Amino acid sequence: MSFKSGIATLVGRPNVGKSTLLNQLVGTKVSIVSDRPQTTRNQIHGVWNGPGTQVVFIDTPGIHKPKTELGRRLNQRSTDALSAVDVICFMIDATAPIGAGDRYIAGLLAEVGTPVILVVNKTDAAPPEEILGHLAGAAGTLGDFAAYVPLSAQTGDGTEALLGEITSRLPEGPLYYPHGVVTDQPDTFLAAELLREKLLAVAREELPHSLAVTVEEIEERPDLLFLRAVVRVERDSQKGIVIGKGGSVIRDAGTAARIELEALLGTKVHLETQVKVDKDWQRRPDALDRLGL
């Protein structure tokens, strides 16, 4: 029996549910989730294995009109992920009108020559008539697609249909990752992203795009993984928000991130945190290079 494998990219506007879908497909958290747009800043790989089949999914930053150097780079990462893949999943939101951003992305996809599956997400939050309207409207305004799949990334309803559409279009290929591997992201990256997710949940209005988290040190100790994380903001006032009264915000976020990280890694974790001001980091190419963005 031949083995089929390939790469599928998830693309769409910010906040359409790409990261939620990736986590749902691979069965565990590999990409952080927030209701703030542009939460995803890197290409996140998640691995799905089926009978005689492996799909490597790429979660990408939402494509948007950039206002900073960071935004421009995030768009570039997303468009880079449209080439040299086997299938593209173009996600739109069933609860929001089809807009200029969707049409812009559709125009990009029309030029790549790769099979594109239109995924209408958030069906759990939209009535059936709106979902049907999106499917019909997409066919009329966004172009022709290889397949149309309504689903809920939150509940998982419809994901089997999506996997069927993807795997039917895969070529014969190798096993890219051993069975049991769900992502190629290192523990340091996952720890940094989890801490950023917890901080976004608390400071969601004040500084969603001004937060950057990196793990500067990692050490495996007996029965313990030690991590030192640095949280960067752009202003002194933002530093106060992140730290919170009596250190409450950074302490609570660090605890929540540590508990989730321990569950994911299956080991005890000591997470040490520090908050620094790095003025206008998301507008400075040198700072973005240093942060790996």
- pLDDT digits 0-9 by tens, 133-151: 888 888 778 888 999 999 9
Question: What are the structural domains, with CATH classification, of the chain?
Answer: 4-167 (3.40.50.300), 187-290 (3.30.300.20)
What is the pTM assigned to this prediction? Answer: 0.77
Mean pLDDT on 80-88: 78
Please report which confidence band the pLDDT of residue 71 belongs to, taking 50, 70 and 90 as the band edges: low
Per-residue pLDDT tens for 201-235?
A: 876 555 656 788 888 888 888 888 898 999 998 88
Please report which confidence band the pLDDT of residue 42 belongs to, taking 50, 70 and 90 as the band edges: low
Q: Is residue 133 classed exposed, middle or buried when 0-12, 13-18 and 19+ CB atoms within 10 A define those classes?
A: middle
81-85, 212-216, 219-223, 281-285: which range is least confident on average?
81-85
Over 70: is that where the pLDDT of 40 sits? no
**Phi-psi group of 109: left, alpha or beta (phi > 0 → left; psi -120 to 50 → alpha; rest → beta):** alpha
Over 90: is that where the pLDDT of 119 sits? yes
